[in-house]
Structure 1
Amino acid sequence: MERRKFIKTAGVGAAGTVAATTLAMPAIAQSQPKIRWRITSSFPKSLDTIYGGGETFAKAISEMTDGNFTAQVFAAGEIVPGLEAANAVTNGTVEACHTCSYYYVGKDPTFALGSVVPFGLNTRHLNAWLRTGGNDLLDEFYAQHNFIGLPCGGTGAQMGGWWRKEINSLDDLKGVKMRIAGLAGQTMAKLGVVPQQIAGGDIYPSLEKGVIDAAEWIGPYDDHKLGFYQVAKNYMYPGWWEGSLNVHLFVNKTKWDELPAGYKAAAKGAAAIANETMLAKYDAQNPKALREIVAAGVKLKPFPRDVMEAAYKASQEIYADLYTKNPAFKKIHENQVAFRNEEVLWFRVAELPFDSFMAQMQSRG
Structure 2
Amino acid sequence: MKRRQFITNAGLSATGLAAVTAAPAIAQDVREWRLLHAYPKGYPIYGTAPEKFAEFVTKASDGRLNIQVFGAGEVVPAFETMDAVRGGTAQMGFGTSYFWKGKVPALQFIPGLPFGMTVQEQNAWFISGGLELAQKAYDELNVKFFVAGNSGPQMGGWFNKEIASAADLSGIKMRMPGLGGEVLSAMGTTIVNLPGGELLPSMQSGAIDACEWIGPYLDMAFGFHKVAEYYYYPGWQEPSGINDLFVNMDEWNALPADLQEIVAAGAELANSYVLNELTAKNPEALRALVEDNGVNLKRFSDDTLIELGNTAGVLLNDLASSDPLSREILDSILSFRENTLNYTDISTRAVLEARALDYKYAGLVKN
- Answer yes or no: same fold by TM over 0.5: yes
Query: Of 248, 264, 269, which aligns to 1:268?
Result: 264
Report the equivalent of 1:13: none
Kindly indicate whether residue 51 of structure 2 is the aligned counterpart of residue 55 of structure 1.
yes
TM-score by length of 2: 0.89
Report the equivalent of 1:331: 328
Distance 1:283 1:28, change over 3 A: closer
Give 1:227 deviation, angstroms: 0.9
User: Following the alignment from structure 1 to structure 2, what is the Cα–Cα distance between the partners of residues 323 and 110?
Assistant: 8
Report the equivalent of 2:361: none
Question: Which structure: greater helix fraction?
Answer: 1
Report the equivalent of 2:196: 200
Kindly indicate whether residue 111 of structure 2 is the aligned counterpart of residue 124 of structure 1.
no
Distance 1:242 1:363, change over 3 A: farther
User: Following the alignment from structure 1 to structure 2, what is the Cα–Cα distance between the partners of residues 139 and 49?
Assistant: 25
User: Following the alignment from structure 2 to structure 1, what is the Cα–Cα distance between the partners of residues 183 and 111?
Assistant: 16
Report the equivalent of 2:352: 355
Kindly indicate whether residue 301 of structure 2 is the aligned counterpart of residue 304 of structure 1.
yes
Which has the higher mean CA deviation after the structures are superposed, 286-295 or 309-318?
Answer: 309-318
Query: Of 25, 30, 42, which aligns to 1:34?
Result: 30
TM-score by length of 1: 0.89
Question: Does the CA-based 8 Å contact 1:120-1:243 persist in structure 2?
Answer: yes
Ranked by relative contact order (alpha carbons within 8 Å, sequence separation 6 or more), the top structure is: 2
Question: Does the CA-based 8 Å contact 1:109-1:183 persist in structure 2?
Answer: no
Kindly indicate whether residue 187 of structure 2 is the aligned counterpart of residue 191 of structure 1.
yes
Give 1:56 deviation, angstroms: 1.1
* Unpaired segments ≥5 residues, structure 2: 1-23, 359-363
Deviations 1:88-125 (A, max 9, x none): 11122110101101112222321112212212222111
Deviations 1:227-284 (A, max 9, x none): 1111101000011111111101110011111111111111111110111011100000
What SS is found at the alignment partner of 1:145? Answer: coil
Question: Does the CA-based 8 Å contact 1:119-1:312 persist in structure 2?
Answer: yes
Query: Of 82, 87, 95, which aligns to 2:83?
Result: 87
Q: CA RMSD in A?
A: 1.6
Question: Does the CA-based 8 Å contact 2:166-2:308 persist in structure 1?
Answer: no
User: Following the alignment from structure 2 to structure 1, what is the Cα–Cα distance between the partners of residues 284 and 312?
Assistant: 33
User: Following the alignment from structure 2 to structure 1, what is the Cα–Cα distance between the partners of residues 322 and 110?
Assistant: 19
Q: What pairs up with 1:237-316 in 2 under 5 angstroms?
A: 237-295=233-291, 296-316=293-313
Q: What pairs up with 1:165-184 in 2 under 5 angstroms?
A: 165-184=161-180
Report the equivalent of 1:67: 63
User: Following the alignment from structure 1 to structure 2, what is the Cα–Cα distance between the partners of residues 226 and 53?
Assistant: 17
User: Following the alignment from structure 2 to structure 1, what is the Cα–Cα distance between the partners of residues 130 and 106?
Assistant: 13
AA paired with 2:210? A
Question: Does the CA-based 8 Å contact 1:54-1:274 persist in structure 2?
Answer: yes
Give 1:28 deviation, angstroms: 7.5
User: Following the alignment from structure 2 to structure 1, what is the Cα–Cα distance between the partners of residues 303 and 202?
Assistant: 28
Deviations 1:139-196 (A, max 9, x none): 1121111101111111111000000001111221120100111221110011111111
Question: Does the CA-based 8 Å contact 1:234-1:299 persist in structure 2?
Answer: yes
Seq. identity, %:
35
Question: Does the CA-based 8 Å contact 2:91-2:248 persist in structure 1?
Answer: yes
Count how many residue pairs are aligned between Structure 1 and Structure 2: 338
User: Following the alignment from structure 1 to structure 2, what is the Cα–Cα distance between the partners of residues 343 and 58?
Assistant: 35
AA paired with 1:302? R
Report the equivalent of 2:208: 212
Question: Does the CA-based 8 Å contact 2:155-2:234 persist in structure 1?
Answer: yes
Deviations 1:283-330 (A, max 9, x none): 001000000100211111111122211111111111221232100000
Kindly indicate whether residue 226 of structure 2 is the aligned counterpart of residue 230 of structure 1.
yes
Report the equivalent of 2:20: none
Give 1:44 deviation, angstroms: 0.6
AA paired with 2:322? K
Question: Does the CA-based 8 Å contact 1:33-1:69 persist in structure 2?
Answer: no
Distance 1:48 1:364, change over 3 A: closer
Give 1:132 deviation, angstroms: 2.6
Greater Rg over alpha carbons, structure: 1
What SS is found at the alignment partner of 1:49? Answer: coil
Question: Does the CA-based 8 Å contact 1:119-1:243 persist in structure 2?
Answer: yes
